[in-house]
């Protein structure tokens, strides 16, 4: 499980983005260690859409080579926590 | 097997029957709700406002869908589909359920051989405009990776094909406002040629966008009446243009042999189709509705029907002055001089003109009229144009006679397209 409140919030929002982007996925079944391709059925087109949705939601840019390295939900959370500025007063 | 037996079996093999109906319209999110409201004389037309706050006024009368299709689909599926595909999926699911089939009858091995024919008028046009807006305001990186599949004319057909397991083929006739009817003509051909056991066929459209309204308005095709209940007045002496609608109609067209083998309930037979082109003008009908008349005659010949066997017509009748007149002339030419015993319904009065979906939604209402022996009303009709000389059903539905019954549904589209479909009551 995410260790900080920011991680936790990021994870919860990511679950919503995943459920809205990837067919046949509900937020409840998105675990932190779920494999995007094998567990959630994120194929190559779905990964492109997921990246587009993340870029839009968090106003970040995920380069193609970075996106290719994202294998699990945890990878995405870690990546996002690294590039998204912490909300004011939000550090635990 | 006796020779007669063999001939009967061969005929049944080539006969196409309608075993399932699905629709989502301005009057309801499904067939029973739509049909009950239509018979009740309800009108699905209201005012839609596209104006941005502080911008120029931008409101139109339209028959917008009673139920948002996105509410009925899984969230991610809805996000991946243009609204036209959402309508098609919702209506296809209903049609399959009505036919006693699962959502995916063609998936797996050993099941029925399934195809999809789904007509489109505008296709994924509102998605194209949305993606273009993202391009112009946010740059190329804001364009969705799904932009291309969603903007293709075959997008809705492909989505329905994926759902049903349409391994025998997925086709998209594009013939403007005749597309939905042309889909059924192609489905009939596929059943007769033995290319599929089940064809999920129809049309869908989601074109309620200010650009489309403006385009039709500039063509002077839209009604300028601002009373929702009176704006769409097919065959009325005071008609002055159409009102745009949206939605989908889907039908399960099945080989009679396949339907009989699984004990399916049959709504009626899709007995014949006629498809012609005016080859005259991109928007104006041929003089006297000649191309439409030829399509009706061809459909009857294809069905082995005499003109006098037709007792009900669901007319294309969009409520434009010239279009309705030439269609009436076409019906007189094809069906004979005195048509007073033919009840003519013009359902665009209530459902608006759903463009590429219209022929399919009207095929659904034609099948229901045959099944329930009742011709739906034209609620807005006040005075039939004397030049029309048809027995147009007015504010109250009219009963259809018992016994074997034939009905025709007509559709026309920009580009000179004419399609007529002939249905006969289930024996």
**Residue B2 falls within a domain, yes or no?**
no
**Residue A35 falls within a domain, yes or no?**
yes
Q: Mean pLDDT over all residues of chain A? A: 85
**Residue A92 falls within a domain, yes or no?**
no
**Residue B238 falls within a domain, yes or no?**
yes
pLDDT at A86 over 60: no
- Alpha carbon distance B224, B243 (integer Å): 9
Whether A74 and chain B come into contact, CB under 8 Å, resolves to no
Tally the residues of chain A. Answer: 92
**Residue B332 falls within a domain, yes or no?**
yes
Name every chain A residue with its beta carbon within 8 A of the beta carbon of B75.
Answer: 19-20
CATH of the domain at B38: 3.40.47.10
Whether A48 and chain B come into contact, CB under 8 Å, resolves to yes
pLDDT bucket at A9, cuts 50 / 70 / 90: confident
Tens digits of per-residue pLDDT, A36-48? 999 998 988 889 9
**Residue B9 falls within a domain, yes or no?**
no
Q: How many CB pairs under 8 A join A and B?
A: 27
* Residue B166 CA, distance from chain mean position: 21
Q: Are A19 and A50 in contact (CB under 8 A)?
A: no
Q: For residue A44, what pLDDT is reported?
A: 87
Whether A16 and chain B come into contact, CB under 8 Å, resolves to no
B75 and A20 within 8 Å at the Cβ level: the answer is yes
Q: Are B274 and B297 in contact (CB under 8 A)?
A: yes
**Residue A19 falls within a domain, yes or no?**
yes
Q: For residue A6, what pLDDT is reported?
A: 76
- Alpha carbon distance B251, B19 (integer Å): 8
Residues 145-204 of B with CB under 8 A from A: 145-146
B17: part of which helix (H) or strand (E)? Answer: strand B16-24
A22 and B75 within 8 Å at the Cβ level: the answer is no
Q: Are B88 and B248 in contact (CB under 8 A)?
A: yes
Q: What is the pLDDT along chain B (427 residues), one digit of tens a residue?
A: 455 566 666 666 689 999 999 999 999 999 999 999 999 999 999 999 988 888 888 899 999 999 999 999 999 999 999 999 999 999 999 999 999 999 999 999 999 999 999 999 999 999 999 999 999 999 998 999 999 999 999 999 999 999 999 999 999 999 999 999 999 999 999 999 999 999 999 999 999 999 999 999 999 999 999 999 999 999 999 999 999 999 999 999 999 999 999 999 999 999 999 999 999 998 899 999 999 999 999 999 999 999 999 999 999 999 999 999 999 999 999 998 679 999 999 999 999 999 999 999 999 999 999 999 999 999 999 999 999 999 999 999 999 999 999 999 999 999 999 999 999 998 6
**Residue B301 falls within a domain, yes or no?**
yes
Catalytic residues of B: 177, 316, 353
Q: For residue B291, what pLDDT is reported?
A: 97
CA distance to B78, B168, B218, per residue, from B221 (Å): 32, 39, 8
Residue range of the domain that includes A79: 5-83
Whether A21 and chain B come into contact, CB under 8 Å, resolves to yes
- Looking at the structure of chain B, the number of domains it has is 1
Helix segments in B304-410, DSSP class H? 321-335, 348-351, 358-372
Tens digits of per-residue pLDDT, A24-40? 888 888 999 999 999 99
B145 and A21 within 8 Å at the Cβ level: the answer is no
**Residue B3 falls within a domain, yes or no?**
no
Tens digits of per-residue pLDDT, B15-62? 999 999 999 999 999 999 999 999 999 999 999 998 888 888 889 999
**Residue A16 falls within a domain, yes or no?**
yes
Which residue is listed with tokens 């033919």?
B342
Classify burial at B240, counting beta carbons within 10 Å of its beta carbon; exposed 0-12, middle 13-18, buried 19 or more: middle
pLDDT at A90 over 50: no
A23 and B74 within 8 Å at the Cβ level: the answer is yes
**Residue B387 falls within a domain, yes or no?**
yes
What is the ipTM for the molecules in this complex? 0.77
Gyration radius of chain B over CA positions? 20
A45 and B145 within 8 Å at the Cβ level: the answer is yes
**Residue B256 falls within a domain, yes or no?**
yes
CATH of the domain at A47: 1.10.1200.10
**Residue A88 falls within a domain, yes or no?**
no
Residue range of the domain that includes B116: 16-425
**Residue A89 falls within a domain, yes or no?**
no
Residue closest to B31 by CA, chosen among B123, B99, B103: B99
- Looking at the structure of chain A, the number of domains it has is 1
Whether B142 and chain A come into contact, CB under 8 Å, resolves to yes
CA distance to B51, B211, B217, per residue, from B59 (Å): 7, 12, 12
């Amino acid at each position: 499980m995410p260790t900080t409140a920011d991680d936790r919030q990021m994870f919860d929002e990511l679950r919503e983005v995943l459920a809205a982007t990837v067919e046949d996925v509900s937020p409840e079944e998105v675990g932190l260690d779920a494999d995007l391709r094998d567990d959630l059925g994120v194929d190559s087109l779905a990964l492109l859409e997921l990246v587009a949705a993340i870029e839009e939601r968090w106003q970040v840019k995920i380069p193609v080579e970075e996106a290719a390295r994202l294998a699990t939900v945890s990878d995405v959370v870690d990546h996002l926590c690294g590039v998204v500025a912490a909300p004011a007063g939000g550090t635990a | 097997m006796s020779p007669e037996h063999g001939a009967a079996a061969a005929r049944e093999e080539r006969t196409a029957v309608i075993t399932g109906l699905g629709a989502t319209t301005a009057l309801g999110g499904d067939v029973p709700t739509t049909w009950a409201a239509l018979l009740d004389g309800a009108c699905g037309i209201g005012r839609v406002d596209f104006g941005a706050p502080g911008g120029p006024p931008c409101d139109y009368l339209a028959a917008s869908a009673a139920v948002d299709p996105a509410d009925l689909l899984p969230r991610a599926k809805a996000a991946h589909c243009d609204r036209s595909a959402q309508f098609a999926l919702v209506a296809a699911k209903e049609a399959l359920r009505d036919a006693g089939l699962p959502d995916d009858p063609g998936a797996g091995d050993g099941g029925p051989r399934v195809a999809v024919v789904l007509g489109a008028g505008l296709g994924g046009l509102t998605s194209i405009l949305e993606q273009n807006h993202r391009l112009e305001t946010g740059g190329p990186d804001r364009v969705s990776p799904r932009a291309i599949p969603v903007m293709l004319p075959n997008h809705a057909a492909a989505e329905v094909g994926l759902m049903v397991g349409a391994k025998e083929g997925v086709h998209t006739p594009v013939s403007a406002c005749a597309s939905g009817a042309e889909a059924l003509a192609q489905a009939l051909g596929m059943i007769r040629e033995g290319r599929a056991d089940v064809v999920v066929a129809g049309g869908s459209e989601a074109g309620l966008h200010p650009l489309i309204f403006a385009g039709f308005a500039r063509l002077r095709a839209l009604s300028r009446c601002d009373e929702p209940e009176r704006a769409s007045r097919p065959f009325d002496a005071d008609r002055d243009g159409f009102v745009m609608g949206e939605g989908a109609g889907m039908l399960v067209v099945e080989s009679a042999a396949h339907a009989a083998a699984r004990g399916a309930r049959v709504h009626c037979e899709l007995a014949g189709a006629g498809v012609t082109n005016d080859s005259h003008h991109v928007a104006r009908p041929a003089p006297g509705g000649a191309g439409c008349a030829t399509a009706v005659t061809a459909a009857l010949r294809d069905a082995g029907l005499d003109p006098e066997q037709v007792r009900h017509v669901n007319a294309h009748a969009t409520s434009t002055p010239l279009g309705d007149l030439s269609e009436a002339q076409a019906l007189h030419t094809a069906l004979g001089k005195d048509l007073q015993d033919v009840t003519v319904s013009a359902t665009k009065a209530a459902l608006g003109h759903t463009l590429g979906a219209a022929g399919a939604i009207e095929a659904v209402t034609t099948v229901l009229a045959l099944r329930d022996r009742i011709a739906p009303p034209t609620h807005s009709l006040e005075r039939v144009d004397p030049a029309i000389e048809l027995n147009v059903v007015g504010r109250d539905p009219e009963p259809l006679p018992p016994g074997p019954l034939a009905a025709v549904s007509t559709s026309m589209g920009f580009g000179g397209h004419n399609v007529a479909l002939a249905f006969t009551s289930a024996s």
